Amino acid sequence: MEIEMDSLDLQGRNIVHLQGVPVLKNIRTGEFGVNPNDVMKVQLRILAEQENVEPRDISLLALLRASVGSFQVNCLHNRYRLNKMLFYQWKELEKIGLGEAYDHDVFQAKSKGPVPIHLDEDIRRLQEKGLVKVTIDQWGKKSYQGSKDTELTPKGKKIAQEILSRLPEDFIQITAEVKKKLYNLDPSSIKDKVHREYPEYRTGYTEEDNE
């Protein structure tokens, strides 16, 4: 079942009225219960709709806009960083019970480690909306030749900043911490880190993700 209800907003400041919140019924007592994660997911979907993006884009745009320490960085060099940042963002949110409170990609263990399977199509869609641009380095070091850099456009910065300003504090903090930790790591270091911390993603994982 779904209900209408009042709730605090994502930052716990104001009352908002929500529609379409899933509820569960206890067949023994007849009482209804609401999962807080479902409430948050509904609010994030409303936020995405207001900014004319897909719910899954929220985590991606938040990462692209998040600061690295005291620096505002709107470009991520090499697709492998974005792949693994999205993975770690999900895993760190999962640790505090918010892993399923937002729409996230599906991560598959591939030869290059955990990869979000819809990321390419998501970035193409955001490119078509004029929110991100992708450049391919054809002149860098041989091992990084052909790597994809993803950057927010001015329009993308505005929308990403609006999204970031309305997210829960835990979401903002974890996103910034993940970006800071992985921002300067090379593919080999990230591969070793994922191997060590998430061995279940080691199957067939022998290549560095240099894209």
Q: What is the pLDDT of residues 112-159, one digit of tens each?
A: 778 899 999 999 999 999 999 998 865 544 344 457 889 999 999 999
What per-residue confidence (pLDDT) applies to 144? 42
Supply the pTM of this predicted model.
0.86
- In 3D space, the residue among 50, 84, 34, 49 whose CA is nearest the CA of residue 187 turns out to be 84
Per-residue model confidence (pLDDT) at position 196: 87
pLDDT reported for residue 143:
40
**133 close to 75: Cβ distance less than 8 angstroms:** no
Residue 138's pLDDT is 56
Provide DSSP, 45-88: HHHHHHTTS-TTHHHHHHHHHSEETTEE--EESSHHHHHHHHHH
> What is residue 211's predicted lDDT score, i.e. its pLDDT?
53
3-state secondary structure of 124: helix
pLDDT value at residue 11: 81
Dihedral of alpha carbons 202, 207, 209, 211, sign: negative
Q: What gap in Å lies between CA 89 and CA 99, rounded to an integer?
A: 9
Q: What pLDDT score was predicted for residue 142?
A: 39
Q: Which residues of the chain have pLDDT under 50?
A: 140-145, 205
